[in-house]
Amino acid sequence: MTLKQLIKLEDKANEVWVISPSLHYDVENKDFSELVSVNLGQKTKYKYIVPGTKDINKQIDIYKKMYHLSEDEVSQNFLILPESEFNPFVLEIGIYNGSSKECTACAGAALEDGNDIILFKSNTAKDMAKSFKALWKKYKRVNL
C-alpha cells in the first residue's frame, strides 16, 4: 500500500486508532495533518496510544493547538502509557473502523515519511483492534 492509498483509506474512515511513538504523521506530516484537521471537522473519531515521554508531551501540546482541542478532548482521545509498556521500536499503526467487522490496519515508519505502508491481513487487523480496545479499557477504564 502506498502513502496516497493510506490517505484515501483514512479519509473514508469514521474512526482512526493510532499507536505512535512520536505522533509524526499527525503533527509533522503536512498531508496527514491537513487530513486530520478535515476529518476532525467532519467528526471522525481519533484515539491514540502513545508513550509517556517528554517528547510526546510536546507533540501532544502541538497537536492540541493545531486542531484546537480542549484539555478534556485530549484527555479523552489519548492514552499515555508508561515507557516500560511501550515498545520503542514499534511502527506507527493505524486501525481504521476498529469497531466494525471490516476493520483495516496499516503500519509505516514512525519517524520518517515514505511511501512504504504495510497493510495487515484482516485477522491481524481484528487482533490489533481487540488489543487496542483491551489496553484502552484497562487504562482508561471505559469502553471505546
Q: Has residue 96 been placed in a domain?
A: yes
Determine the pLDDT at residue 17. 96
- Average pLDDT of the chain to the nearest whole number: 90
Total number of domains in the chain: 1
Q: What are phi and psi of 141, to 5 degrees?
A: 60, 25
As a whole number of angstroms, the distance between CA 35 and CA 42 comes to 10
> Cα dist. 68→7, 32, 72 in Å?
22, 16, 12
> Which structural domain, as residue segments, surrounds residue 87?
3-137
Question: What does the pLDDT look like over 55-69, one tens digit per residue?
Answer: 999 999 999 999 999
Is residue 143 in a domain? no
For residue 41, give the CATH number of its domain.
3.30.870.10
Residue 35 lies in a domain: yes
Residue 126's CB: how many other CB atoms inside 10 A? Answer: 19
Binning pLDDT at 50, 70 and 90, where does residue 112 land? confident
Helix ranges, 42-121 (H)? 54-66, 71-77
Q: Would you say 10 and 17 are in contact if contact means Cβ atoms under 8 Å apart?
A: no
**What would the mean pLDDT of 41-65 be, rounded to a whole number?**
94
